[in-house]
Amino acid sequence: MAVGKNIVFKIIFIPVIFVIGVFTLINFLPKEDDGAKSESFIESLKGDETKASPFPFEDLTIPYLAKREYKSALGSLNEVSRNSNYTSYLTGYDSDGFRINGLLTIPNVIDPQGDRRKYPAVIFIHGYIAPAQYKTLVNYASYVDYLAKNGFVVFKIDLRGHADSEGEPGGAYYSSDYIIDVLNARAALASSDFVNADKVGLWGHSMAGNVVFRSLAAKGDIPAAVIWAGAVYSYEDFQQFSINDDSYRPPDTNAERARKRRELFNTYGEFSADSDFWQKVPATNYLNNIKGAIQIHHAANDDVVDINYSRNLSSILDKTSIPHELYEYTSGGHNLTGDSFNLAMQRTVDFFREHLR
């Protein structure tokens, strides 16, 4: 009799459990809400494979910079000077909630109909200068003047934490803050009524070589970029050539920047080409993104940034279809002064004329 009761119990109990399980599963399935279909239960279990989960320091990677949006607009233009070729203004724009300021020059030439032209433009990114010493109207004034008097809108932005720009200076090589500032400046210029949105190029000096090149990899439709005495492209070059540039490890009065850098290295270690994370940082791993032309200038006697940074980058670009050219100078140092300056500036102007018009 005990065996018989056992059989009856199984016959009754197992179907009941099955029915309860099915009822629970049906109630767990997503239902239509307000006429909008939810994802199926199975699909929700799979997850969205097109969206990678955020990971520490994702914002340092090229894929992150490429997928995010850049939207901004210029603030009011406050005239500071005028000459026969162009008018200079102080203005600003929003970048990640910070107001980034800069010096903007606009050519005085107008259309025969009396309308303001849609000018080609160059975003000018400064090299490392101690943020407390950087001055908007002083630093790189001769560079801006040379470009401006040749018919370009020039926007020399004060990277965050410099002069009156808000935010903290993040550094070039282990932060994407400056790249975000550059790409938001591009969006701001493109939204103006006096710039041809398809003809905005980049110019960078020293640490800005890295900023310019990573900006190109993030937004490959930038038509032209010029780099003077730049550094750090593959990040392996950093290990090979070293650098005498305070933008790498300045006196860290900025405790937050120092903390973030320690956290980065504690999380992923120093750069390694074998690291899944570090592979996503160098622009040289995303050359297929770049559609514009690149011009590079470097003096052999540069005692701050080794000329081999530029030679190495040029050799990498030689293996691609990216239009590029490297100009070397026997003298001029890190800032390409003297005769080298005039020659390099004229080559820069000619290059932008070719690719921005």
- The string of DSSP codes covering 132-144 is TT--TTTTTHHHH
Report yes or no on 271 lying in a domain. yes
What is the pLDDT at residue 19? 42
163 and 217 belong to one structural domain: yes
Report yes or no on 260 lying in a domain. yes
Report yes or no on 53 lying in a domain. no
Does 177 have pLDDT greater than 60? yes
Helix or strand (DSSP H, E) at 357: none
101 and 196 belong to one structural domain: yes
Query: Whole-angstrom distance between the N-terminal and C-terminal Cα of the chain?
Result: 98
What is the pLDDT at residue 3? 46
Does 249 have pLDDT greater than 70? no
Mean pLDDT of 88-96: 98
The radius of gyration computed from the CA coordinates of the chain, to the nearest angstrom, equals 27
What is the pLDDT at residue 243? 85
66 and 169 belong to one structural domain: yes
d(CA 135, CA 124): 14
Give the pLDDT band of residue 288 (cuts 50, 70, 90): very high
- 255 compared with 42, residue with greater pLDDT: 255
What is the pLDDT at residue 32? 42
29 and 150 belong to one structural domain: no
Mean pLDDT of 151-176: 95
Does 75 have pLDDT greater than 70? yes
Check if the beta carbon of residue 224 is closer than 8 Å to that of residue 292: yes
37 and 76 belong to one structural domain: no
Does 228 have pLDDT greater than 70? yes
The number of folded domains in the chain is 2
- CATH number for the domain including 94? 3.40.50.1820
What is the pLDDT at residue 204? 98
Mean pLDDT of 84-100: 97
Q: Running DSSP on this structure, what letter comes out for residue 85? A: S
Structure tokens at 151: 């018919």
> Residue 18 sits in which domain range?
2-46
What is the pLDDT at residue 302? 97
The helix/strand/coil state of 323 is: coil
62 and 36 belong to one structural domain: no
- 21 compared with 293, residue with greater pLDDT: 293
8 and 128 belong to one structural domain: no
d(CA 16, CA 266): 55
State the angle between helix axes of 141-148 and 339-355 in degrees (0 to 180), rounded to the nearest 10: 40
Mean pLDDT of 301-329: 97
Report yes or no on 52 lying in a domain. no
* Whole-number average pLDDT of the chain: 86
What is the pLDDT at residue 171? 86
- 10 compared with 353, residue with greater pLDDT: 353
Bridge partners, residue 156, by sequence: 103, 124
Report yes or no on 51 lying in a domain. no
**Cβ neighbours around 134 below 10 Å, total:** 19
d(CA 61, CA 283): 9
Report yes or no on 238 lying in a domain. yes
Give this prediction's pTM.
Answer: 0.83
34 and 80 belong to one structural domain: no
Lowest mean pLDDT among 12-26, 90-104, 169-183, 188-202: 12-26
30 and 72 belong to one structural domain: no
34 and 137 belong to one structural domain: no
Backbone phi, then psi, for 308, in 5-degree steps? -65, -20
Lowest mean pLDDT among 26-30, 160-164, 221-225, 226-230: 26-30
> Which one, of 184, 122, 177, 128, lies nearest residue 155 by Cα?
122
Instruction: Report the Cα 134 to chain-centroid distance in Å.
Output: 21
Structure tokens at 135: 């001055």
- Kindly state the percentage of the chain with pLDDT values over 90: 75
> Which one, of 26, 6, 24, lies nearest residue 16 by Cα?
24
Lowest mean pLDDT among 71-75, 81-85, 184-188, 240-244: 240-244
Report yes or no on 275 lying in a domain. yes
- Kindly state the percentage of the chain with pLDDT values over 70: 81
Mean pLDDT of 10-22: 44
270 and 221 belong to one structural domain: yes
What is the pLDDT at residue 112? 67
17 and 130 belong to one structural domain: no
d(CA 121, CA 155): 8
Check if the beta carbon of residue 208 is closer than 8 Å to that of residue 277: no
What is the pLDDT at residue 170? 85
